Amino acid sequence: MAAQTTQTRLLSTAILAATLALHGCGGGAAGESSDNGSVSIQGATSSQVESTSSASEANAQTATQTETSTTNSSTTNDTVTDSSQTNSGSSTQTQQDTQQDQVQNDSQDSSQESDVALDIVISLQPASQSAGKGESVTLNVSASGSGALNYQWRKNGVVIADAVQSYLSLSNLDDSDAGVYDVIISNATGSVTSSGATLSLTVNQSVRLVWNTPNTREDGSALAQQEISAYRIYHTTEDGSWGASVETQADATDYTFGGLGSGVHYFAVTVVDTSGIESDFSNIMSKQIF
């Protein structure tokens, strides 16, 4: 009976070892339960399976790490490329923005300069005139603006030396004075140019004589206004012959000759009293007609 019980336990132990091996439980537990050779073999096989499984897991991890590395490398490259492209695009955009800002600034500066030039306002433009040779004329301009105003007159676009006032006086005119005159007006903000004034030279064929009413006779005695009967005006030319005299009223103090020819003309005035007595000639006056 005791022998049968021992055999039965041995059999049960062998069955238990086999079951453990088949279910893949630790080989060490199976070896401790029995010295049976099959039990040891089953345990060793289980260990090899575990080693193989660990190697496979290691390989899988290695493959996963490789893929991850590759992915990271690709991602990094893509990031670098995108960053480079982004930086390049940003640099180009910055240059374009800078150029656009510069154009806008230049446009604003130009606009401001144009506005500054309007600071000078001309209220009176030089007027065109006609004058005879030998006569005098004056051209005028009036303007306002900030600060001191500077003037520079020109004739036919050419600067006239020392003509730096708000007016331009010309005397003893001749043919060379005819032309178009303007003036440049400037201050610290800019300059403006007046409109042109045309100076035309005409042939003045007239002369006006003016005299004062005498109050004494040649002997020094008094001459009353009511004693004057008339004035006689004499006219001659370069040949020295006096033409017919012209007689005016007693209260006249001037007389004008017109339609005179070219050359030098001479004039004199006498006074006639109520008795018909005529004075000597006044001072001789002359006028040249061109």
φ/ψ region of 240 (left if φ > 0, alpha if ψ in -120 to 50, else beta) reads left
- What is the amino acid identity at position 118? L
* Length, in residues, of the chain: 290
- Would you state the structure tokens that stand for residue 23, as one six-digit string? 């279910």
CA distance 256 to 177: 26
Do the domains at 121-202 and 207-289 have one common CATH topology? Answer: yes
Q: Dihedral of CA 40/43/44/45: which sign? A: positive
> Torsion angle, CA of 94/99/104/105, rounded to 10 degrees?
100
Q: Which of 272, 271, 269, 274 is nearest to 284 (CA)?
A: 269
Q: Place domain 207-289 in its CATH homologous superfamily.
A: Immunoglobulins (2.60.40.10)
Q: What are the residues facing 150 on neighbouring strands?
A: 186
Quote the pLDDT of residue 186. 95
Most confident of 1-15, 59-73, 144-158, 252-266: 144-158
Could you read off the pLDDT of 197-229 as tens digits, one per residue? 999 998 878 899 999 999 999 899 999 999 999
Lowest mean pLDDT among 12-16, 245-249, 283-287: 12-16
Domain boundaries, the chain: 1-116, 121-202, 207-289
121-202 CATH choice from 2.30.29.30, 2.60.40.10, 3.30.70.890, 2.160.20.10: 2.60.40.10
Tell me the pLDDT tens digit for each residue of 125-171.
999 999 988 899 999 999 999 999 999 999 999 999 999 999 999 99
Nearest C-alpha neighbor of 262 from the set 187, 203, 217: 203
Which run of H or of E encompasses 199? Answer: strand 197-202
